[in-house]
Structure 1
């Protein structure tokens, strides 16, 4: 059992410390100034310390009282925030999705409106970061990761389908004397490097049997969406997952000179705590996203 002073006494002290007056504190708490004074004296007696210096009709926090007041204020702020979050939860179910930045920007964001329209009772919070979160401490309901991470007990991982890596460029680069018609033509182009890709230009040239033509020169980015943007601007040729460039291909901002077939990688996965699977918001998003990526899991 927690050993704490009276909540009323702590409230009286917090109000007096913030407002610098027993009278102002009494007005805020809808009690009399003498009641505030009584609660604070009782608190001082219980704690065995003096919290205020009484000078005529003024009050001044002691050094100990000031330190105590700062911590009590933080405590009440936390309580207030907790109550606010509970009140919000009673009105709306919040689904927190953590996602790697490029998939969040390039693939998930354009589709979230469809999910919101299908499930208007669910409010979506999207966090984008390359680092995985701890799902067991409920930092997020879902974590869409890129790459390979150690499995966690109780966390279910569903891999995305294999992702096709496409050679991509702006339409203007596919014309003229340096037009890209065959893999060997890339030796004349500036290569845009995505440093986080599991399958990079070195792997591509090696797979094509053209490793001796591979050039390490060219701009480098630590986020694939930056590489894609550079390619759209005509700054070179990028190698990216088809998942990431569906909008740019549809808008003809990028073209795939060698077509939409290519080498595949197992990149992304969706992760969630299995024991929370039956929560309506969890079930709704899981069913929706699996349908979006073309996975049929009718038995859940």
Structure 2
């Protein structure tokens, strides 16, 4: 029997160890630094000892203790294997889903006429529309593509996922 109830805590531990901080781990995992700290502390409570030596300053505020450092190699390999297994499970037959957010006027007057052509060229991609004037945070995964037009003062960004939950911002 496997006890994978601590999977999120293990992800937080592994990311915090690589980044040397809860802030870096939080950016990668798309959560807050206190959330990473809470996940790590719950794992520390479970194992019964601190997993990091903590300092208030320096490039690496967190340094794994010897026992954690030894376990981290297995934990990282395990997380990589889980990710590979999930990719295999999803397989090539899985349809990709792209969430597009755009205003009602833009969808009605421009986007809808182009969706049939896109669907014909890319039959393995489902497009889901969020028709709204609300400006959303693409980095938080609310949508993959946000299209706005007009005199608004929107930042122009492209978020390309890479790695485990990381996003790279391109101007």
TM-score normalised by structure 1 residue count:
0.29
TM-score normalised by structure 2 residue count:
0.49
Which of 1 and 2 has greater Rg? Answer: 1
